[in-house]
Structure 1
Amino acid sequence: MQSLIGTGVALVTPFKEDFSIDIEALSRIVNFSVDGGVEYLVVLGTTAENATLSAAEKEVVIATVIEANKGRLPLVLGVGGNNTMEVVAELQTRDLSAFSAILSVSPYYNKPTQEGIYQHFKAVAEASPLPVILYNVPGRTSSNMLPATVVRLANDFKNVVAIKEASGDLVQGFQLLKTKPKDFLVISGDDMTALSLILAGGSGVISVIGQGFPAAFSEMIRLGLNRKVDQAFQIQYELSDCIDMIFEQGNPAGIKQVFQSLGIARNTVRLPLVTVDDSLANRIDLFVQKSNR
């Protein structure tokens, strides 16, 4: 899965003032990311406010991204949930021909045991016609997919090819790198620690900030993969304040403010999320203005 090495970006779903999907803005975001040099695009992940989109709206997002991308970059589709049978049914019925892989989040809210997580992804792997990227994000799911479970899945199912590791725990990331099968990819899901995980042997990142600063962030990741440590960390330090800011009041409210500052899309989010407050908006605006000088 060489196409998953480098920077993938978890695309937002831009909304108009009336909270309907802004198709033109989504196309602009796709083009901005592609032109900025990222390696692949992730559709309908957490950052897309997937939980607040109707089934019809999800189809609009998918169609818009496919059309705007025009086959330029590999696409990954978020297909996950806490109802295993529902996830399996979607994998068995959805047209996945435009996608290179699926990204499937560990079940949330139910708080399954490690055996429950294994059995869930066993069902997903057996149903999926595409390679599967596991997604561990305990801050959202309330359960941590431990390295032993990840390695067990990777060894048992050839189409389980990678994990987006977003625990924020570098030690856990190092344990994954130490114990994983040779060709299994450990992909960071945390913008601030992505470079450190890559330098330890990780394969890249699925990023939020990467869609707001695609040229700089994807170059940082490439430098890290090429072991050009000093140059990579210079970019990390230049972006670190904004990485903190975009998550300060929740994702994707922060990155949507970046897009408003760039003039690409509105900062509108759907309840229960709210836009960032004026203080944070002003700080993000100032950072974007300085970065574009």
Structure 2
Amino acid sequence: MAPHNDAPSPSGSFTSGFNRIPFRPSASSALLTAHLASGEPDSPLSSSFGSASAASEFHMTRPLVPGVYVPTMCFFEEGTEDVDTDTIARHAVRLARAGVTGLATQGSNGEAVHLTHSERKLVTATTRKALNGSGFSHMPIIVGCGAQSTREAIQLCRDAWEAGGDYALVLPPSYYASLFAPASQTIMEYFTAVADASPIPIIIYNFPGAVNGMDMSSDMIIQLSQHHNIVGVKLTCGNTGKLNRVAAATRKMTKNYDAKNPEFLVLAGSADFTIQSLVAGGHGILAGLANISPKACIQTIELYNQGKVAQAQDMQDIVAQGDWTAIQGGVVGVKAGLQAWMGYGGYARSPLPKPSAEQTKKWKEGFRDLVVLEKSL
């Protein structure tokens, strides 16, 4: 979880003149796949992917539908900082039993930037196996696959598929942004090439705070939505006007639009504007706060959809206040909240700091009203 802003897309190099760029698949993108080599040795779980039964279980058709999606945490063993697969599995099942629509691994909350390729596969495969083994084989898993190079992003998408992921959540590259072609041509070519080569569908991830302030415009997202292998967007920018434009345009471009099964899913990236995103035509949230309060996030949407707007607003007030604690503390604060209220969570992987006693107390109190609400549902 990280701060989002409500400013409109800037008029700089990532939006200016965008509509002059025709949408077409990159001619060279198909060639990229022929030259990709395996990045790392297989995960310890890779041997289990070989049987026909395992393959069919890992690769069912799991459509994206409106609801609450949770970017799950990655847990580490105390002392060694090795990936704690037992806690990862238990947490995934807890969220599934609470009734969430889907899970996401390798997001900001999942500390993807702290994991090797093989650890990423291990986390996703552990999550998939835990869900399948607890009666949730129908639940989709979204896997963070953003990278600074097109080549690595494609490899991460392949790794995600091998580990049982159903969709790839992809940030735009940003490290060399000052060298990108004008009018967002580089970003367009990146997403097109990754979508062309990925074995699983792509969800665009617009999160300016994670990519040096780069804020994709509604024009860019709408045009990319026309790619057959790009099926949604997560908007952590907090811009509900942008969300409205994307939701309206993609709805109008869909023949025989079905609100319960949209062809292009538009998700808010934070729980503190859940109702606002629904008013604007969004389909739900992909929000880190649901690690702590999945039922409250679900109930907020259900109350609104039932026309109980005042009750939904009351719940949104508590959710938004709890989310402010999560936004301020980031993954360190959310883990501290889980540890304080749920008895597990531990610490983030170094170099992220361990919270002080004062911070732990502050974050625990910041989540108090939210946890009380969650336990009442």
Compute the TM-score of the two structures, normalised by the length of structure 1.
0.91
Deviation of the 1:206 alpha carbon: 0.5
Deviation of the 1:259 alpha carbon: 1.2
Runs of 5+ consecutive residues of structure 2 not aligned to the other structure: 1-61, 255-262
Q: Distance in 2 between matches of 1:100 and 1:228?
A: 33
Distance 1:116 1:49, change over 3 A: same
2:22 corresponds to which residue?
A: none
Answer whether contact 1:245 1:280 (CA < 8 A) is retained: no
Deviation of the 1:254 alpha carbon: 1.7
What is the Cα-based RMSD across aligned positions, in Å?
Answer: 2.2
Q: Which amino acid aligns with 1:105?
A: L
1:85 corresponds to which residue?
A: 151
Q: Which amino acid aligns with 1:176?
A: V
Deviations 1:131-189 (A, max 9, x none): 2111010111121111111111112x112111001112222222323333344221111
Q: Which amino acid aligns with 1:91?
A: C
Distance 1:241 1:170, change over 3 A: same
Answer whether contact 1:133 1:164 (CA < 8 A) is retained: yes
Q: Which amino acid aligns with 2:115?
A: L
Q: 1:258 aligns with which of 331, 337, 354?
A: 337
2:357 corresponds to which residue?
A: 278
Distance 1:20 1:94, change over 3 A: closer
Question: Does 2:67 match 1:9?
Answer: no
| Paired residue total | 291
Deviation of the 1:77 alpha carbon: 1.4
Answer whether contact 1:32 1:211 (CA < 8 A) is retained: no
Question: Does 2:272 match 1:202?
Answer: no
Q: 1:241 aligns with which of 306, 312, 321?
A: 321
2:139 corresponds to which residue?
A: 73
Stretch moving more, 27-36 or 105-114: 105-114
What are the residue-to-residue correspondences of 1:1-293 with 2, within 5 Å?
3-18=64-79, 19-70=81-132, 71-92=137-158, 95-96=161-162, 98-111=164-177, 112=180, 114-142=184-212, 143-155=214-226, 157-180=227-250, 181-182=253-254, 183-249=263-329, 251-286=330-365, 287-288=367-368, 290-291=372-373, 292=375
Answer whether contact 1:79 1:91 (CA < 8 A) is retained: yes
Distance 1:35 1:89, change over 3 A: closer
Q: What is the percentage of aligned positions where both structures have the same residue?
A: 24
Distance 1:193 1:126, change over 3 A: same
Q: Distance in 2 between matches of 1:55 and 1:89?
A: 9
Answer whether contact 1:199 1:225 (CA < 8 A) is retained: no
Q: Distance in 2 between matches of 1:79 and 1:122?
A: 14
Q: Which amino acid aligns with 2:96?
A: V
Distance 1:227 1:126, change over 3 A: farther
Stretch moving more, 86-95 or 39-48: 86-95
Runs of 5+ consecutive residues of structure 1 not aligned to the other structure: none
Distance 1:264 1:75, change over 3 A: farther
Distance 1:214 1:144, change over 3 A: same
Q: Distance in 2 between matches of 1:170 and 1:277?
A: 35
Answer whether contact 1:14 1:265 (CA < 8 A) is retained: no
Deviation of the 1:87 alpha carbon: 1.4
